[in-house]
Structure 1
Amino acid sequence: MKTQVVIVGAGPSGLLLGQLLGRAGIDTVILERSTREHVLGRIRAGVLERGTVRLLEEAGCADRLHREGQIHHGVELAFDNERLRLDLAALTGGAHVTVYGQTEVTRDLMEARAAAGWPTVFEAADVRIEDAATTRPRVSFEQEGVRHEVACDFVAACDGYHGVGRRSVPAEALRTFERVYPFGWLGLLADAPPAAEELVYANHPRGFALASMRSATRSRYYVQVSLDERVEDWSDDRFYRELRARLPADLAAAVTPSPSIEKSIAPLRSFVAEPMRFGRLFLAGDAAHIVPPTGAKGLNLALGDVHYLTEGFVAHYREGSDAELDAYSARALARVWKAERFSWWMTSVLHRFPDMDAFAQRMQRAEFDHLTAVPSAAVNLAENYVGLPF
């Protein structure tokens, strides 16, 4: 088998890259270790930046998003019982975010690829990336006991933090940066009207809480928990009691306790691998960087990488120029570190850390008061939340 670009990973970043390259006339093969059903069953965040929506439009995969997605012109922060609404549109000159589940983004991209007839190999086991440092990289995989090999010009690793992509880069060729946070998010998904029309991030002495949604009839809530907590120890009733205790009183009263569809605990970390290229192997999304979910940047940051990669591959095949590919890592990392800073800041301001003293708590309060009193501080938060340009 031979193609121009092998994409490892059929999550939203790999699928979007395949869609954009396919529309540009560039051949791709996507290899995915899981089943199609497993990929579509992943529950992930769904706050889309303006740039992400534009990329999905360019891919021809935004029709359902525009029909079903919820446009949010604001976001709220709460400190104990005080609520501060940031008018994103007013603070950024008209920008907004769109709430549309990552699972739905993946479904739209997957269906578009299938309709175009471009190949995706699911249940591709034991994927190996070889000769990435040469001009003739190869990717092999096993399926139904048979070993297959794909010759290609380039490999794009969009296969997540635990994928083969980053592991295929020699350790001495990478430098990694990491911050592991001493808590996680316990999330609950339920078919119930959201407690608020926009997302509310809450700082409370008992810990962080987030009131979010996936649609007008499906709510997504989170509470900060210690890393030694177990999902099975959290009944729905216990979760809702803890959530309500951490939200402002009026918002807590609006929460509609409903049976959970899904419940899970996600640890929080910040991680970056540099550079994001090794020979003809390019890292994108979680393969190269992780952000805590507090800033809603994970999916958006991954699709920003796809934008830069697409520009590079198109320039290579259409113009014979590798200038964009050579600049990929530096361009992507410049945006990655800005998103890492914002996500780290949001996490630091909104969560209760195990070793927090009275001084640290007062500093969190000062950050909240600063946003309330200083317009430029609110503008800075809003511009980062709706997404920095790429």
Structure 2
Amino acid sequence: MFSKILIANRGEIAVRILRACRDMGVPAVVAYSEADRDTLAVRLADEAICIGPAEARRSYLNQPALVSAALISGCDAVHPGYGFLSEDPGFAEVCAAHDLHFIGPRAEVLERFASKYAVRRMLAANGLPTVPGSRGIVSDLGDALAQATEAGYPVLLKPSAGGGGRGMRLVRTPREMETSLPLARSEAQAAFGDDSIYFEAWIEESRHVEVQVLIDQHGNGIHLGERDCSIQRRHQKLIEEGPSPAMNDAARERLRDLAIRSVVAAGYESVGTLEFLLDGDGNFYFIEINCRIQVEHPVTEAITGVDLIREQIRLAAGESLRLRQEEIAFNGHAIEFRINAEDPNDNFAPQTGVIEELQLPAGPGVRVDTHLYPGYEVPPFYDSL
């Protein structure tokens, strides 16, 4: 097991990782930007280190600063949380070059799963049904128009290098393609440093279902059921629940079984989430994989009793998977609500300000993961979650 872990993230997930480290008896160091000097994770940490100014590119995305912080503080592992550098194979490789364990898939695995289009092809070859779409990355507007006309509108433009809703555009006509493709490319370049775009057929009235997996570095893997993430705004999840209320037991088992078998065969490792679309006839189609812990991981923890952050840390340390599929029991139903700092009177635009009063719910079956406290000031530099 690791001797000390650098938490290279902020907000709620930094507090969550810190709690897991405490539970495991592993010392942790919280890396923070100048804007996050008074955040809850820093206040709770035994040790914290400033990694740069408020802007993410100069702090939480600043790889040299994070590696230096880890080495100076005596860490031998880095937990990237979600977002920021959590799925960056270059950062995982830099960590390895400095004898730091990246808590997630190793660099070569992240590289193999970096292109969402390539992953669709790879997992389709291992038996997963996929949404019909473009034959590859669209080369230019003419290529996009030709392929979309052949495939049939509407289509959903998607960046190959990343997710989280950024760079996605629903296109219903050739005229919309002319305006949407440049915008999608620009957003993808800004968010992921790669403007590669492909498209999928748009499935009307579909549901968004995802399967949580745990796989060690020795090829052993299990699934921990599915979550339904269909309630979204601007391709951002708002409410997640598990199990999915839209599936019967037979369909549920087939989805879970296909997901874990295909991703193990493809050589994945660590925690991961395979995302699917479920159409009105009950058919499911693989769309992408998230090679990190998810915001909605507490849903799975609530119905299985498995601490995903702790398991993720153990897997990154090279330990064999301790859980067997037949040992996983699914109990009850869980629903997660994301609370964002937004202005509902301004089209839910992100909003900053001071938390003047905070009353959190409590009671049997209630869990609150947050970094908020009375007096905390929500900064303008990061996600509104």
Taking structure 2 as the reference length, the TM-score comes to 0.29
Structure with bigger RCO (C-alpha 8 Å, 6+ apart): 1
Taking structure 1 as the reference length, the TM-score comes to 0.29
Greater share of residues in helix: 1
